[in-house]
Amino acid sequence: MKIDNQNYESILCKTYFSIVGSNLTTEVTLDQICEEAKISREEAEKIVPKNSLEYKYFFLKILISQLDKEVLTELKEDLADDIISSTYDKILEGLSLRFEKYLEFKKALKILSNNTKQRVEVFFNVFQENYFFTTNLLNLVEGEKNFGRRTLKSIVLNIIFLKGLEMFLKNESKEIDPVIRTLDKYLGDFEDIGLFMGLIKKESKR
């Protein structure tokens, strides 16, 4: 069966993160990835950057994009018949589900961002992916039509996400309850400010 580039990307990406998580290092060669993934170097070279220093963000962007698609698909299904949850609850669920997807790759993600400086670098390198996720999340849960308000909300949600990421990487357990509490706290603060500024429409209390 012929495998297209997108499937090769997915296989190489998961293999890369598996090696990083197992070997606890970002110094991964293309030969290592190809051997583990059982893909020829010739095929891999058509996809991955020539500079191995770029692997980190190349594969990270692919991973986040794939996981985000899964999150939004699952969330859309969960919310299809939901007439009870508030917009706040739906956004919190979407952000929480995102971190649940990250759990499988937590060890590798910690290696890729083992200090504050690296975490900030990771955040800004995948900002576009984060922006797409938050705007799609907002469209899904509230259908915000105003581009300006949607952009402002998306930027704030990215900041809230970064706060959650700090807790996610700092927390040693496999539980995400501390992350959800962090998200809830900062999302609540934003809701209060957003209501005051008119960015968020008032709805019934949770």
- For residue 181, count other CB atoms closer than 10 A to its CB: 11
pLDDT at residue 206, as a whole number:
44
List pLDDT tens digits, range 115-140. 777 777 887 788 889 999 999 998 99
Name the packing angle between helices 147-170 and 177-197 (round to 10°): 150
List pLDDT tens digits, range 97-120. 999 999 999 999 999 887 777 777
pLDDT at residue 195, as a whole number:
54
pLDDT at residue 196, as a whole number:
40
pLDDT at residue 67, as a whole number:
95
Query: In this structure, what are the phi and psi dihedrals at residue 165, rounded to the nearest 5 degrees?
Result: -65, -40
